[in-house]
């Protein structure tokens, strides 16, 4: 029996990069959380402590900040592609790079009804996400890009049913034809290639996900997720797979009968834990192999 070094990668996780564009009196803000991870010939670092091939994680951090100075910073997908390609192309021991990015949205405040030039409030809404993986160079170059969003809290007060389920001796759940359905959606989509209008795709896919959630008469969260993924794939040729993860944020009708008060679907207890956790991938049957596209580094995106 011999002990060997297995799969490994290393990088700097969660560089919190805030970029202000101040060339004009009306400033712009971008707020990112950037993680980088490198693969390559790093066996000696693990086996004998030889750092000669190791680009420090601190250098990876400095590079991420330096690249944030480029103007325009662009989308998180294009910024991540620049960063990942740089590591693979310009740092000899590096054969693969993964960049994972979260972007937090800020909304300009209004003062006396007029938009302020340099003050924002953080939008409490969803976080946009992306992952970029680049491997190899020249003709062997391969690139995988995923976009996504998380923490999209969405609730519908009707249009959701759950009945006809398998019943055994432990089942107490009552069937329902009208319930609240709420979730904090995580959605990720895998692109077929890297020639995409990233902002337009993000806005369009987000809109489809929300519209499907709102309009599908849901027989289960599983069905809603499938319909969301299907609609995205039908609208976007460049997307080959959609992965969805949705905690079922249960809302239980509160029992007001002890007070002689009727409660026809009006007062609920929003339960915290436990929650159903429903996950599905929806993809084209000829989708290319995902390779390392879903190979999460931080688990944040």
Tell me whether residue 164 or residue 258 sits nearer to ligand URC (CB atom).
164
**At closest approach, how far in Å is the CB of 248 from ligand URC?**
5
Instruction: Judge whether 59 counts as a catalytic residue.
Output: no
Tell me whether residue 15 or residue 218 sits nearer to ligand URC (CB atom).
218
Give the integer Cα–Cα distance in Å for 96 and 89: 9
Q: Among residues 61, 188, 249, 250, which one is catalytic?
A: 250
73: Cβ contacts below 8 Å, ≥ 6 apart? 19, 21, 30, 79
Give the integer Cα–Cα distance in Å for 34 and 12: 8
* HSE of 272, CA atoms in CB hemisphere, 13 A: 0
**At closest approach, how far in Å is the CB of 180 from ligand URC?**
11
Q: Among residues 12, 61, 188, 249, which one is catalytic?
A: 12
**At closest approach, how far in Å is the CB of 246 from ligand URC?**
9
90: Cβ contacts below 8 Å, ≥ 6 apart? none
Give the integer Cα–Cα distance in Å for 132 and 136: 14
Instruction: Judge whether 146 counts as a catalytic residue.
Output: no
Tell me whether residue 145 or residue 225 sits nearer to ligand URC (CB atom).
225
Q: Among residues 27, 57, 86, 150, which one is catalytic?
A: 57
Residues comprising the binding site for urate? 57-58, 162, 179, 222, 248
**Residue of this chain nearest to ligand URC (CB atom):** 221
Give the integer Cα–Cα distance in Å for 42 and 252: 53
Instruction: Judge whether 250 counts as a catalytic residue.
Output: yes
Active-site residues: which are they? 12, 57, 250
């Amino acid at each position: 029996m011999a002990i060997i070094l297995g799969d490994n990668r290393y990088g700097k996780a969660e560089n919190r990069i805030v970029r202000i564009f101040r060339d004009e009196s009306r400033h712009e803000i971008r707020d990112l959380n950037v993680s980088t991870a490198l693969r390559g010939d790093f066996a000696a670092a693990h086996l004998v402590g030889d750092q000669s091939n190791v680009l420090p994680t601190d250098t990876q951090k400095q590079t991420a900040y330096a690249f944030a100075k480029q103007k325009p910073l662009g989308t998180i997908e294009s910024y991540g592609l620049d960063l990942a390609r740089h590591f693979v192309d310009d740092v000899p021991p590096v054969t693969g790079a993964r960049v994972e990015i979260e972007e937090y949205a800020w909304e300009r405040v209004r003062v006396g009804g007029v938009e302020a030039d340099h003050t924002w409030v953080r939008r409490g809404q969803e976080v946009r996400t992306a992952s970029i993986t680049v491997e190899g160079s020249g003709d062997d170059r391969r690139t995988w890009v995923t976009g996504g969003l998380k923490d999209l809290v969405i609730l519908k007060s009707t249009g959701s049913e759950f009945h006809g389920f398998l019943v055994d001796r432990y089942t107490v759940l009552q069937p329902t034809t009208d319930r609240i359905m709420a979730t904090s959606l995580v959605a990720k989509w895998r692109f077929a290639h890297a020639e995409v209008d990233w902002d337009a795709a993000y806005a369009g896919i987000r809109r489809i996900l929300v519209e499907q959630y709102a309009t599908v008469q849901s027989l289960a969260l599983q069905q809603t997720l499938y319909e969301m993924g299907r609609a995205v794939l039908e609208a976007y040729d460049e997307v080959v797979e959609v992965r969805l993860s949705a905690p079922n944020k249960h809302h239980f009708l509160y029992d007001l009968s002890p007070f002689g008060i009727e409660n026809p679907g009006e007062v609920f207890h929003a339960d915290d834990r436990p929650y159903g956790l429903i996950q599905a991938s929806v993809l084209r049957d000829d989708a290319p192999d995902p390779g390392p596209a879903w190979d999460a580094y931080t688990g944040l995106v």
